[in-house]
């Protein structure tokens, strides 16, 4: 096991396209690091550079204490799991698992021990003699994992290993991946475009966009303290709501005005982020998580309320997603546009891409399932104003975030 | 049609090719093509006097069979054929050529598809373009290369190949290999390049170098394509007359069956009983190859046109 350090790593393709731009990342020994971002953000390229499948244009890559820029994959002691599993179709499961060990001239008895151990761990023992073609998708995925495990490498590199599985199996495998990491404790770099996978698996999550690192932090910190509009909108499902708002001083505290709504800015927030005072009398972008709303009628003391008209309700049993319009133009920012483009491609953040109501901002609120909200009905929404997110209108950076000072 | 409409072009072509009219046409073509061959076989088994006086179809009313013709052409005096030694020559020419072409084509295809070196794409285009050059163009230069060697500015770079005895096969092997490689590399490249990227990358991450990847991962997966190419190459060389005539000559030590048959047709055009038997001797090998490896033929023809 070892730590992996990327120090100013660049990747420029022959056409001049910069896929990865000055990436600095330190993955500590035994850590589960997830690289996440929309397609084309450079996350896979970064992983492939760590693996040695892609040349590093500039910068240094350390595995352990050694610079490995110029070492071929076989001398890096890493194991990789591919999106489409990449099992050798002409070899049985057993041969697939043993292939990398045989190449490393490991003794037969040791190979057998490791293969049997991994097969038992992954429930593959009954299938050892089968060819990959005779396995189900989930089993193939486990063989691919097994091939990495038997190697007992310095680090696991996984390139969207769950994306070819159906939804239910993916949730199962996610849990087993978590267990596996607990058990083996091997440094792992995991690439995904699925932010739920990123949040549930990662010790830390690195969000990338256009080849640039946006933020690295624990899942909870990413969710609570996103560094900019992009991270705020990318992490969390349903996505964070954005609206342009005017910040006004109100005695010792402040208020935010947008459309016909007014939200107070708590005193605590102002003292925590003194930079906010610079924005008095100016437009900012306000972000509110759907989960920071709730039905005010169920929580009479839930703080500030907003009255809205529900357009659509999605009853999920455990919660109701209420989609409503705010009478303010949608946020015009390139990062918001990038998010919308990604959502349109993915179909996951449905609200962002929906041409619902012309020049209105579309909001989503996640309310308690016992709420009586109906489409077309009015709803008093309680807002947790301590959890509001404030972004600079021009730069898109979170105002007062430690990284932006 | 009660089936759901098949919309893809492949499905449409397949449907048309398996329709009733198409099948009828195919049967007619097959019969028209097969009848002369059957006639040849029947004739070769009839006694000399009968061949020369009546048509082969009278065999069905007056069936007399003999293997004398075969005995004569295969093992008789030099003037009557002596085909047995030419038969062996044909094998000695075709089998090594096949091995050379398949081996070199597979290696070249791997290098062109899975290694990175400057000028790789141009090299591939060049090899592809070589298929356009008719082989007749290169016969004379190649022959001069073998017989006169190469001299640049009076300095002898390569001496003439003054080969004797069995070594004379070398030039035939070389010529056939050179002529067979462009198409071979092209076919193999299409097949090798279709292997999933991640498979090769997985092998690299597992610790394999190019040699191991080629031998342990790529080679087992392209066996069907290799077999197809081997069959085509073998048959092509087996049936070739031109290259053999020029590089091997009519010498009984090295000349293949085709050369001998052409000679017999020219010098002994009236000895039908020997010609028919001789022709069938040369046909029997392609027939065996075709019938025993039929499924690879179809795959070989489809190589590169479909995935998987």
Closest residue of chain A to B220, computed from CA coordinates:
A90
- Decide if A104 touches B, using CB distance below 8 A: yes
**Of B114, B208, B107, B212, nearest in space to A72 by CA:** B208
Rounded to a whole number, what is the distance in Å from the CA of B205 to chain A's nearest CA?
A: 5
A263-267 long-range contacts, Cβ below 8 Å, gap at least 24? A263/A304, A263/A306, A263/A383, A263/A385, A263/A388, A264/A304, A264/A385, A265/A385, A265/A388, A266/A385, A266/A386
Mean pLDDT by 10 residues, chain A (405 residues): 90 90 94 92 94 93 92 91 91 94 93 94 92 90 94 93 88 90 94 92 94 94 93 90 90 86 88 88 93 86 81 91 89 75 54 56 91 89 91 90 77
Nearest to B212 among A85, A103, A157 (CB): A103
Nearest to B202 among A52, A72, A82 (CB): A82
Q: How many CB atoms lie within 10 A of CB A75?
A: 11
Block residue for tokens 């084309």? A40
CB contacts, 8 Å: B201 with chain A: 51, 53, 80, 82, 86
Q: What is the 3-state secondary structure (H, E, C) of chain B?
A: CCCCCCCCHHHHHHHHHCCHHHHHHHHHHHHHHHHHHHHHHHHHCCCHHHHHHCCHHHHHCCCCCCCHHHHHHHHCCHHHCCHHHHHHHHHHHHHHHHHHHHHHHHHHHHHHHHCCCCCHHHHHHHHHHHCCCCHHHHHHHHHHHHHHCEEECCEEEECCCCCCHHHHHHHHHHHHHHHHHHHHHHHHHHHHHCCCHHHHHHHHHCCCCHHHHHHHHHHHHCHHHHHHHHHHHHHHHHHCCHHHHHHHCCCCCCCCHHHHHHHHHHHCCCCHHHHHHHHHHHHHHHHHHHHHCHHHHHHHHHCCCCCC
Is the dihedral angle over the CA atoms A370, A373, A290, A161 positive or is it negative?
A: positive
In chain A, the domains with their CATH numbers are: 4-228 (3.40.50.300), 234-404 (no CATH)
Cα B244 off chain centre by: 13
**Of A362, A352, A369, A374, nearest in space to A316 by CA:** A369
Across the interface, whether the CB atoms of B208 and A74 are under 8 A apart is answered yes
In our burial notation (b when 16+ CB lie closer than 10 A, e otherwise), range A30-45 reads bbbbbbbbbebbbbbb
- Decide if A100 touches B, using CB distance below 8 A: yes
How far apart, in whole angstroms, are the C-alpha atoms of residue A163 and residue A206? 19
Block residue for tokens 């049985």? A92
- What the block records as the tokens of B257 is 């069956």
Angle B9-B10-B11 from CA coordinates, rounded to 5°: 90
Per-residue pLDDT at B306: 40
- Decide if B204 touches A, using CB distance below 8 A: yes
Provide the 3-class DSSP secondary structure of residue A24. strand
Instruction: Give residues with Cβ within 8 angstroms of B194, minimum separation 6.
Output: B304, B307
The answer to whether the beta carbons of residues A310 and A377 sit under 8 Å apart is yes
Rounded to a whole number, what is the distance in Å from the CA of B302 to chain A's nearest CA?
A: 21
Indicate the DSSP class of residue A266: P
Across the interface, whether the CB atoms of A86 and B217 are under 8 A apart is answered no
Distances (CA, A) of B138 to B108, B157, B184: 22, 20, 18
CA dihedral of residues A190, A191, A195, A200 (deg, nearest 10): -10
Q: Is B49 exposed, middle or buried (0-12, 13-18, 19+ CB in 10 A)?
A: exposed
Mean pLDDT by 10 residues, chain B (308 residues): 56 78 91 89 85 82 82 75 84 94 96 91 90 86 84 77 78 91 92 90 91 93 88 91 84 84 76 83 87 73 44
Across the interface, whether the CB atoms of A86 and B198 are under 8 A apart is answered yes
How far apart, in whole angstroms, are the C-alpha atoms of residue B290 and residue A221? 69
Q: What is the DSSP annotation of A338-401?
A: HHHHHHHHH--SHHHH---STTSEEEEEEE-TT----TT-EEEEEE-GGG-EEE-TTT-BBTT-
How far apart, in whole angstroms, are the C-alpha atoms of residue A119 and residue A98? 11
Block residue for tokens 């590169």? B304
How far apart, in whole angstroms, are the C-alpha atoms of residue A286 and residue B132? 67
- Decide if B195 touches A, using CB distance below 8 A: no
- What the block records as the tokens of A156 is 């696991």
How far apart, in whole angstroms, are the C-alpha atoms of residue A102 and residue B207? 10
Across the interface, whether the CB atoms of A99 and B220 are under 8 A apart is answered no
Across the interface, whether the CB atoms of A72 and B204 are under 8 A apart is answered yes
Q: Is A192 exposed, middle or buried (0-12, 13-18, 19+ CB in 10 A)?
A: buried
The answer to whether the beta carbons of residues B235 and B287 sit under 8 Å apart is no
Is the dihedral angle over the CA atoms B28, B303, A81, A20 positive or is it negative?
A: negative
Closest residue of chain A to B223, computed from CA coordinates:
A90
- Decide if B120 touches A, using CB distance below 8 A: no
Nearest to A73 among B196, B198, B205 (CB): B205
Query: Could you state, in order of their start, the residue ranges of all structural domains in chain B?
Result: 7-66, 83-302
How far apart, in whole angstroms, are the C-alpha atoms of residue A299 and residue A67? 57
Q: What is the pTM of this model?
A: 0.80
Q: Determine if the peptide bond prior to A238 is cis (ω within 30°).
A: yes
Which of B197, B206, B209, B214 should we substitute to test contact with A (largest number of A Cβ atoms within 10 Å)? B206
How far apart, in whole angstroms, are the C-alpha atoms of residue A107 and residue B21? 64
Side by side, the strands of the sheet bearing A32-36 are: A78-81, A155-159, A187-192, A32-36, A204-209, A212-217
- Chain B, 217 to 236: residues with Cβ < 8 Å from chain A are 217, 220-221
The answer to whether the beta carbons of residues A141 and A173 sit under 8 Å apart is yes
How far apart, in whole angstroms, are the C-alpha atoms of residue B25 and residue B11? 20
CATH topology of domain B83-302: MetI-like fold (1.10.3720)
Cα B8 off chain centre by: 34
Nearest to B199 among A78, A83, A88 (CB): A88
Distances (CA, A) of A82 to A47, A186, A209, A322, A332: 11, 17, 22, 38, 37
CB contacts, 8 Å: A140 with chain B: none
The answer to whether the beta carbons of residues A115 and A98 sit under 8 Å apart is yes
Indicate the DSSP class of residue A335: H
Per-residue pLDDT at B302: 52
Q: What is the pLDDT of residues A128-143, one digit of tens each?
A: 999 998 999 889 999 9
- What the block records as the tokens of A185 is 């404790």
Rounded to a whole number, what is the distance in Å from the CA of B207 to chain A's nearest CA?
A: 4
Task: Quote ipTM for the complex.
Answer: 0.81
- Decide if A358 touches B, using CB distance below 8 A: no
């Amino acid at each position: 096991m070892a730590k992996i350090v990327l120090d100013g790593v660049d990747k420029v393709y022959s056409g001049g396209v910069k896929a990865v731009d000055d990436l600095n990342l330190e993955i500590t020994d035994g850590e589960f690091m997830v690289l996440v971002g929309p397609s084309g953000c450079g996350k896979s390229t970064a992983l492939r550079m760590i693996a040695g499948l892609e040349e590093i244009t500039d910068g240094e890559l350390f595995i352990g204490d050694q610079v490995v820029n110029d070492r071929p994959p076989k001398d890096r002691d890493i194991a990789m799991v591919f999106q489409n599993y990449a099992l050798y179709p002409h070899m049985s499961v057993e041969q697939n698992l043993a292939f990398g060990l045989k190449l490393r001239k490991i003794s037969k008895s040791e190979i057998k021990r490791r293969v049997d151990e991994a097969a038992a761990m992954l429930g593959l023992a009954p299938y050892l003699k089968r060819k990959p073609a005779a396995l189900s998708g989930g089993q193939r995925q486990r063989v691919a994992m097994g091939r990495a495990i038997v190697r007992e490498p310095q680090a696991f590199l996984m390139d969207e290993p769950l994306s070819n599985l159906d939804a239910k199996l993916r949730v199962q495998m996610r849990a087993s991946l978590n267990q596996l990491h607990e058990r083996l404790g091997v440094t792992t770099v995991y690439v995904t475009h699925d932010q739920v996978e990123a949040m549930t698996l990662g010790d830390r999550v690195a969000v990338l966009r256009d080849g640039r690192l946006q933020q690295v932090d624990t899942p909870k910190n990413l969710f609570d303290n996103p560094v900019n509009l992009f991270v705020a909108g990318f992490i969390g499902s349903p996505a964070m709501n954005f609206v342009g708002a005017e910040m006004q001083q109100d005695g010792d505290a402040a208020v935010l005005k947008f459309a016909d709504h007014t939200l107070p800015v708590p005193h605590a927030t102002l003292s925590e982020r003194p930079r906010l005072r610079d924005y008095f009398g100016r437009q900012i972008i306000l972000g509110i998580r759907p989960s920071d709303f709730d039905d005010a009628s169920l929580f009479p003391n839930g703080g500030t309320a907003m009255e809205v008209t529900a357009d659509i309700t999605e009853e999920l049993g455990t919660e109701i997603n209420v989609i409503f319009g705010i009478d303010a133009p949608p946020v015009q920012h390139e990062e918001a546009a990038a998010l919308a483009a990604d959502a349109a491609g993915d179909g996951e953040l449905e609200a962002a891409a929906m041409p619902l109501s012309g020049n209105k901002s579309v909001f989503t609120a996640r309310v308690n399932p016992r709420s009586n909200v109906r489409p077309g009905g009015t709803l008093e929404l309680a807002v947790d104003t301590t959890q509001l997110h404030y972004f600079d209108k021009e730069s898109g950076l979170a105002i007062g975030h430690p990284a932006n000072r | 049609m009660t089936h759901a409409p098949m919309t893809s072009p492949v499905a449409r072509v397949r449907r048309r090719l398996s329709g009733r009219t198409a099948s009828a046409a195919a049967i007619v073509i097959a019969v028209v093509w097969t009848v002369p061959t059957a006639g040849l076989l029947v004739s070769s088994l009839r006694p000399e006097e009968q061949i020369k006086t009546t048509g082969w179809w009278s065999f069905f009313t007056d069936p007399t069979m003999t293997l004398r013709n075969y005995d004569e052409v295969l093992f008789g005096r030099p003037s009557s054929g002596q085909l047995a030694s030419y038969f062996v020559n044909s094998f000695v020419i075709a089998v090594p050529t096949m091995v050379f072409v398949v081996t070199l084509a597979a290696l070249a295809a791997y290098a062109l598809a899975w290694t990175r070196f400057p000028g790789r794409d141009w090299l591939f285009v060049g090899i592809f373009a070589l298929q356009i050059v008719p082989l007749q163009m290169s016969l004379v230069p190649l022959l001069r290369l073998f017989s006169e060697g190469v001299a640049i500015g009076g300095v002898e770079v390569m001496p003439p190949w003054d080969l004797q005895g069995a070594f004379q096969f070398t030039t035939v092997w070389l010529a056939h290999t050179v002529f067979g490689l462009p198409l071979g590399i092209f076919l193999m490249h299409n097949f090798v390049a279709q292997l999933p990227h991640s498979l090769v990358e997985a092998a690299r991450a597992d610790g394999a170098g190019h040699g191991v990847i080629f031998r342990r991962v790529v080679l087992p997966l392209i066996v069907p394509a290799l077999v197809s190419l081997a069959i085509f190459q073998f048959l092509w060389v087996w049936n070739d007359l031109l290259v053999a005539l020029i590089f091997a000559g009519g010498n009984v030590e090295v000349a293949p069956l085709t050369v001998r048959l052409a000679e017999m047709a020219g010098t002994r055009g009236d000895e039908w009983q020997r010609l028919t038997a001789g022709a069938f001797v040369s046909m029997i090998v392609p027939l065996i190859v075709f019938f025993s490896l039929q499924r690879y033929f179809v795959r070989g023809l489809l190589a590169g046109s479909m995935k998987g």
